[in-house]
Amino acid sequence: MSIGQACRAAIAATMVLLLALPTAASADASAEALVKRTAEDMLKTLDSRRSQLSANPSVIYGLVGSKLAPHFDFELITRSAVGRDWNKASAAQRAELISSFRELLVSTYAKSLAKYSGETLVFKPSRPGPRDGTVVVPTEVTGGGRPPIPIDYRMHRKSGTWQVYDLVIENVSMISSYRGQFRTTIARSGIDGLIQELQSKTRGGA
């Protein structure tokens, strides 16, 4: 092998290694692209199906379930929100907590999106998250005659894909907000009481 061939081989091997290693820059870009692609697809669908949604508002629940929910790590969200009381729950209770909290969050997101009336979602450069292996994708919702609403998507990798594990809306963490409520309910009514409360809120449209 000539010196030139050896150099080209070394460069090629280096490029393969660089492409195989998930750098922070590429991770941030891929997470940001996922949020942008998912949000734009959701808003485009809302616009194109506006008449259908007006006639049957419940359609939006299916849209949220199919387009947004797959990108959220509901297991980690639930475990983090329950906090230290998670260890008190049996396997069956944990599964029920995840399912019930997922339904409540999907319902909440659906009701928020049902009020969408042409607001703009502005995407900002991603930044490293609060711990290793995480990123934050900052966005702002503008329009509607209101000041911009900052929404940060905190994401981590799970099974090779980026998933949201927390939302920070106007500097308030969704997980932190729910954790206080959950702790109060568990202290009063136990794990089963929290499950019943989550299910009741979903049924009641909270």
53-73 pLDDT per residue, tens: 777 878 888 888 888 899 999
Place of tokens 């399912």: 99
In this prediction, residue 28 carries a pLDDT of 55
Every domain of the chain and the residues it spans: 27-204
Q: Which of 17, 3, 27, 35 is nearest to 124 (CA)?
A: 35
Q: For residue 45, what pLDDT is reported? A: 85
Cα-only R_g, the chain: 21
Cα(109)–Cα(62) distance, integer angstroms? 11
DSSP H helical segments within 50-173, as ranges? 50-55, 59-63, 74-82, 91-114
- Give CATH for domain 27-204: 3.10.450.710
Residues of the chain below pLDDT 50: 1-27
* pTM score, whole prediction: 0.79
